[in-house]
């Protein structure tokens, strides 16, 4: 059996943990730059607010119904996620962290060790996660990951289930499949759903009754065949490497939309330098070095600037590196190739490709090994200091703001961001 544990309205739930007065009140959390809605409480959903609604369009509705609005606070959400996942790792033999608010648990072989049933076990897990972190969850349990995802969906949609849906029998699985529209099945996108509706298949039960030949022909070959088999109760996929930072990525990207359009070269240079520095930290964390560096700039499609709206420059580095100073230097050189005075830029980013294991890179003809070793040790110390004293404590001089300037010009808008209650000493709540 597999279980899928999914936090309910996770970003909103994180905000409510530290502001209990928000319970029962409609709440939404906005994306980077306060652009659109990315998390809604149940009360906000009841008002008709949708994921992705632009804030400026729904602002009158938010004000009319006294909806609490928050800017995204990813430092807080990431730490709350870590606490939830830590507990799940203590109670299950194996865990796949699927996203910031979802995790698959492998429950095979656990039946003899639970008090009564896996359903009671799931209810205990749900109760303990709420007690330890304040985050409400729903849990779906089924023989396959696809069915566990489907069961979790039913647990969320049906309050009478008490947050847990256990598909342990063929009868329960048949009932569950009939309740879910085919477009809501994990792995079925819009285009596949259109094909299935054209073929008269409208529910997950209809999809589970498809032949393997049909699935291979219309649902992407072997991937579609596996999906159908999973709906039929036959496991075709186990737990995968987690998306929590432990999974080694083939490329890394750091990009942001600016809080306002930028026309000054130094302002954009600061943004690109910050993105390259952040990407270098991620690269060292997974033990790799990059051989290719891409810098891109974007203009607004809705402004007065003429197309093309995006441009990029790709550099092949002399040798693969994860050195912050080297990557920032190359990123600034790439930016100079792209810069066109007079344009209003709204977004920039740095992408690192051609990754290879750190310490196994080929030196250039003129690179001295002792110098490389000293720079590598310097980066280790840099990361250690930032881990101990907080992100950004030690950084390149080019990233230091002038005296009196509190925010970089490129930083996004975050008018309603709450404090970092769990990761910043100055933001700890005081209890009198």
Give the residue from 35, 72, 410 showing the smallest Cα distance to 259: 410
User: Looking at residues 298-312, what average pLDDT do you find?
Assistant: 86
DSSP one-letter string for 123-185: HHHHHHHHHHH---EEEEEESSHHHHHHHHHHHHH-GGGTTEEE--SHHHHHHHHHHSBGGGS
Please tell me the least confidently modeled range out of 3-7, 163-167, 249-253, 414-418: 249-253
Give the CA distances from residue 167 to residues 113, 140, 145, 156, 164, in Å, rounded to whole numbers and listed in that order.
19, 8, 12, 15, 10
Distance of CA 416 to the CA centre of its chain: 21
Instruction: Grade residue 228 by pLDDT with cuts at 50, 70 and 90.
Output: very high
What is the tens place of the pLDDT at every residue in 132-151?
A: 999 999 999 999 999 999 99
- Average pLDDT taken over every residue of the chain: 90
**Would you say residue 88 has pLDDT above 90?**
yes
Per-residue tokens: 366: 């003129």
**Would you say residue 109 has pLDDT above 90?**
no
Instruction: Grade residue 369 by pLDDT with cuts at 50, 70 and 90.
Output: low
**Would you say residue 429 has pLDDT above 90?**
no
Per-residue tokens: 365: 């003809």
User: Looking at residues 298-309, what average pLDDT do you find?
Assistant: 84
Q: What percent of the chain has pLDDT over 90?
A: 65
Residues with Cβ < 8 Å from 142, sequence gap 6 or more? 1, 2, 148, 150, 151, 166, 167, 173, 233
Q: What distance in Å separates the CA atoms of residue 197 and residue 208, rounded to the nearest whole number?
A: 14
User: Looking at residues 395-415, what average pLDDT do you find?
Assistant: 84
Q: What is the pLDDT of residue 367?
A: 63
Whether residue 38 contacts residue 31, with contact meaning beta carbons closer than 8 Å, is answered with yes
What is the tens place of the pLDDT at every residue in 111-126?
A: 777 767 899 999 999 9
User: Looking at residues 68-90, what average pLDDT do you find?
Assistant: 95
Torsion of CA 31, 37, 42, 47, to 10 degrees: 160
Q: What is the pLDDT of residue 206?
A: 93
Instruction: Grade residue 371 by pLDDT with cuts at 50, 70 and 90.
Output: low
Q: What is the pLDDT of residue 181?
A: 94
User: Looking at residues 372-397, what average pLDDT do you find?
Assistant: 86
Instruction: Grade residue 368 by pLDDT with cuts at 50, 70 and 90.
Output: low
What is the tens place of the pLDDT at every residue in 25-65?
A: 999 999 988 989 999 999 999 999 999 999 999 999 999 99
**Would you say residue 331 has pLDDT above 90?**
yes
Per-residue tokens: 370: 């002792």
A 10 A CB-CB count for 21 gives 8
What is the tens place of the pLDDT at every residue in 186-212?
A: 989 888 999 999 989 999 999 999 998
Whether residue 88 contacts residue 126, with contact meaning beta carbons closer than 8 Å, is answered with no
**Would you say residue 409 has pLDDT above 90?**
no
């Amino acid at each position: 059996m597999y279980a899928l544990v999914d936090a309910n309205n996770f970003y909103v739930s994180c905000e409510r943990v530290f502001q209990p007065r928000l319970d029962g009140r409609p709440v939404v959390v906005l994306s980077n730059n306060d652009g659109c809605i990315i998390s809604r409480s149940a009360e906000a959903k009841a008002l008709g607010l949708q994921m992705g609604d632009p804030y400026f369009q729904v602002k009158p509705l938010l004000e009319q119904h006294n909806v609490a609005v928050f800017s995204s606070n990813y430092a807080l959400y990431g730490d709350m996620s870590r606490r939830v996942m830590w507990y799940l790792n203590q109670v299950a033999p194996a865990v796949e962290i699927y996203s910031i608010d979802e995790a698959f648990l492998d429950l095979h072989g656990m039946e003899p060790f639970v008090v009564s049933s896996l359903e009671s076990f799931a209810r205990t897990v749900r109760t303990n996660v709420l007690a330890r972190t304040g985050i409400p969850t729903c849990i779906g349990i089924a023989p396959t990951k696809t069915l566990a995802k489907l069961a979790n969906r039913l647990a969320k949609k049906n309050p009478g289930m008490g947050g847990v849906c256990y598909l342990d029998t063929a009868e329960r699985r048949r009932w569950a499949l009939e309740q879910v529209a085919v477009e809501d099945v994990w792995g079925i996108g819009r285009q596949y759903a259109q094909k299935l509706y054209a073929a008269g298949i409208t529910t997950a039960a209809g999809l589970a009754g498809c032949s393997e030949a049909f699935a291979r022909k219309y649902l992407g070959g072997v991937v579609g065949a596996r999906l159908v088999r999973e709906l039929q109760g036959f496991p075709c996929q186990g737990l995968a490497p987690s998306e929590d930072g432990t999974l080694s990525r083939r490329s890394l990207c750091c990009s942001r939309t600016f809080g306002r359009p930028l026309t000054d070269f130094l302002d954009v240079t600061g943004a690109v330098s910050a993105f390259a520095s952040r990407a270098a930290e991620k690269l060292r964390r997974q033990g790799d070095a990059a051989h290719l560096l891409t810098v891109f700039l974007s203009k607004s499609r809705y402004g007065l600037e003429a197309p093309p709206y995006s441009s990029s420059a790709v550099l092949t580095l002399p040798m693969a590196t994860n050195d912050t100073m080297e990557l920032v230097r190359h990123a600034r050189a790439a930016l100079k190739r792209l810069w066109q005075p007079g344009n209003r830029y709204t977004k920039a980013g740095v992408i690192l490709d051609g990754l290879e294991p750190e310490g196994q890179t080929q030196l250039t003809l003129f690179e001295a090994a002792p110098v490389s070793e000293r720079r590598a040790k310097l980066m280790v110390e840099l990361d250690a200091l930032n881990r101990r004293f907080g992100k950004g404590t030690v950084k390149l001089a080019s990233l230091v703001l002038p005296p009196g300037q509190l925010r970089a010009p490129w930083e996004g808008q975050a008018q309603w961001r709450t404090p970092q209650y769990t990761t910043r000493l100055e933001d700890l709540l005081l209890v009198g």
